[in-house]
């Protein structure tokens, strides 16, 4: 005979996804400093103990949040690269397009706002540099030239300019994006 209590099928990946999504939403509205374990658990409909099962501390939750952002950025860049017939500069072109016109991280998106907020968390800053170094190591044969490095750094600056909410950034950055992309075809 079974008890009358409610039992839910365990779906750890769905719970983890709900926790990350809730943390991202809360961070967007309250900043990372205002992100509490209890608020994330409540927003995800999970007990605090359930959250701690997936993320043993606030720091591991933040690590999971940035790892998820990086994975989403990787997926977008990989998709853009898969459609690029020119190997030389393909990673840099995908990076430019993702940052300045992409779906996930282009300035103005929720993920861009969250990424910007992460720059204020000192413990999380090294994640970005590490990600860039790892991605570039994967594409060293095609994207390791001084000109392409300049294009990527210019893209970072343009992205920050747009993400900071500069008036008219979209109109200003569209032609810049085209110029940066054109530079990726130069030797």
> Are residues 110 and 51 in contact, defined by beta-carbon separation less than 8 angstroms?
no
d(C-alpha 49, C-alpha 10), whole Å: 14
pTM: 0.82
Q: What is the pLDDT of residue 134?
A: 92
Question: Using one digit for the tens of pLDDT, what is the confidence trace for 99-113?
Answer: 998 777 777 677 777
pLDDT of residue 3: 44
Between CA 35 and CA 164 the distance in angstroms is: 21
Q: Where would I find the H helices in 55-124? A: 58-82, 90-101, 110-118
SS3 169: helix
pLDDT at res. 18? 94
pLDDT the model gives residue 78: 96
- Separation CA 89–CA 142 (nearest Å): 6
Stretches where the chain sits below pLDDT 70 are: 1-9, 108
pLDDT of residue 6: 31
Question: Where are the strands (E) in the chain, listed by range?
Answer: none
Residues 6-45 have pLDDT tens digits of: 335 578 899 999 999 999 888 888 888 778 999 999 999 9
Query: Domain 10-56 belongs to what topology?
Result: Arc Repressor Mutant, subunit A (1.10.10)
- Nearest CA-CA partner of 93 in 152, 136, 139: 152
- Give the pLDDT score at 150: 97
Q: Is 167 exposed, middle or buried (0-12, 13-18, 19+ CB in 10 A)?
A: exposed
């Amino acid at each position: 005979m079974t008890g009358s209590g409610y039992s839910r099928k365990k779906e750890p990946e769905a719970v983890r996804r709900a926790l990350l999504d809730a943390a991202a939403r809360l961070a967007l509205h309250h900043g990372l400093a205002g992100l509490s374990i209890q608020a994330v658990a409540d927003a995800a409909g999970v007990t605090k103990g359930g959250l701690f099962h997936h993320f043993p501390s606030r720091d591991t939750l933040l690590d999971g949040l940035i790892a998820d952002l990086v994975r989403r950025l990787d997926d977008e860049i990989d998709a853009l690269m898969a459609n690029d017939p020119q190997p030389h500069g393909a990673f840099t072109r995908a990076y430019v397009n993702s940052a300045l016109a992409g779906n996930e991280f282009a300035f103005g998106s929720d993920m861009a706002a969250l990424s910007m907020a992460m720059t204020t968390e000192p413990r999380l800053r090294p994640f970005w540099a590490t990600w860039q170094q790892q991605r570039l190591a994967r594409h060293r044969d095609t994207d390791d030239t001084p000109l392409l490095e300049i294009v990527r750094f210019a893209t970072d600056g343009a992205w920050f300019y747009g993400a900071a909410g500069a008036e008219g950034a979209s109109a200003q950055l569209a032609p810049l994006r085209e110029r940066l992309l054109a530079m990726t075809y130069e030797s």
